Amino acid sequence: IGADGNLAVLAELDEAVLLDGLQERFLRHQVYTDIGDILIALNPFQPLPLYGREVSERYRHHERGTLPPHIFAVASRAYHAMLGHGGGGPRSQCIVI
């Protein structure tokens, strides 16, 4: 898995590689994993410090790949794309959960 938690950077991605990567990250309490523009979230079955104000602020204006995958990163990218930040003008957004 790439250092940024993105499985799309692997040379080969099949079901076994995907499941092994997700299990490895889950055991390290990294419940979010990117596959390109797709975010996979696993239920950690325990409370983790993932959603406080401090975490939210870190993801507010981060550059992609500088922080681990997180739902706050997806929300931030969608919000800024909707506003047209980063060039190209405003773009409609859709997030499927």
Kindly report, residue by residue over 23-33, the tens digit of the pLDDT: 999 999 999 99
pLDDT at residue 53, as a whole number: 93
Of the pLDDT bands very low, low, confident and very high (cuts 50, 70, 90), residue 64 is confident
- pLDDT at residue 2 greater than cutoff 80: no
pLDDT average, residue stretch 11-17 = 85
- CB contact at 8 A, 25 and 6: no
In 3D, which of 88, 64, 90 has the Cα closest to residue 76?
Answer: 64
Kind and range of the H or E element at 65? none
Three-state DSSP class for 50? coil
